[in-house]
Amino acid sequence: MQRIILHIDLDSFYASLEELRHEDIRGKPVVICVFSGRSEDSGTVSTANYKARELGIKSGMPISLAKRLAKDKDVAFLQNDIEYYRTVSDRIMEIIEEEADIFQQVSIDEAYLDVTKKSMDKWDNAKKIAEKIKKKIKEQEGLTCSVGIGPNKLVAKMASKHQKPNGLTIIKDAEVKEFFENLPVSKIHGIGEKTTKILDELGIKTAKELASSDIKILEKKFGKNKSKLLLDKSQGIDDSPVEQKDRQQISRLGTLKEDTDNIEVIFEKIKELATDMKKKIEKVSFRTVSIITIDTALKTQTRSETVQVTNNLDSVLPITKSLLENFLKENSEKKLRRVGIRVSNLVYKKEQKTIGDF
């Protein structure tokens, strides 16, 4: 049976989340940073939205260089808030996993889905699955994603990059050769700068040239295994499976009716979120419970405690209240806007390999 694989890529995920939280930066170039604290310009760029990328700002760039590129332009530079991003990512990955035969999350904002059975081996059905995922993510989280559909993981990944943001690209079996052959080798997923430079020195610039190159020459430069891998990539060949991996945390986050530091009001919200989470952990236990707080300045913090292995959320609610009390004492000047609960270090029952069945 021909496989049908989806690759989901959330569009400029961190920056898009910050645009949702900060109305005043919507539509502007947005740069998410990891500040080192040595100075206001020290540190690196974590990611940037598409408008910031048009200015030449990209991931891994020193913040000082990014600010020079942004000089005299209205660009928002914000601190990375990874706890918040992970919490939203958890919710989105649950949405995606519901539509998969096999689900593999590969990063905070990317996942592969094998939908061969769900799509009944039909490309049109796979497209409907992709459209359903895109719609649910937009409606529930206000975010867009780009989806690639192909006969393997490599082709699906390349397809998702083809139209960004908010794209949906299908590359069927018969279209793979034509799609790949005119690509620069630098654009093929998994071929980095060093390899591209060596290939260029060999006069190999496109995927078509790489596919027709002499394997013996490649082996002298890269060795037998990598040469075979390069030839496969140049032709869109990838036999690697979509591998289901056990999730290691589950969280719920909710908005309070009004900004408050009233512990009883906040704790009621935590209990409400815990009730919603119960059905998600029926077949797993956990070792760690955490509270997540987001204050009126939109700063996210967590407090955690290790517990005896359990799947009884009610039994650890007093711990979450204690964590909340300590947090409020330490941050008496702050009011909370959102609050959440997380269980992590999950322990799966022997017969239970995933939580996708929930």
Catalogue the active-site residues: 110
Q: Rounded to the nearest 5 degrees, what angle is found at the Cα of 143, between the Cα atoms of 142 and 148?
A: 145
Q: What is the C-alpha to C-alpha distance for residues 226 and 244, in angstroms, rounded to an integer?
A: 26
In degrees rounded to 5, what are phi and psi of residue 306? -80, 135
Residue 115 near residue 126, CB atoms below 8 Å: yes
C-alpha distance across the termini of the chain, in Å? 27
**Centroid of chain to Cα 62:** 23
Single out the residue of 323, 339, 193, 333 nearest to residue 266, CA to CA: 339
The Cα–Cα gap between 263 and 260 comes to: 8
Cα–Cα distance for residue pair 340/191, rounded to 1 Å? 40
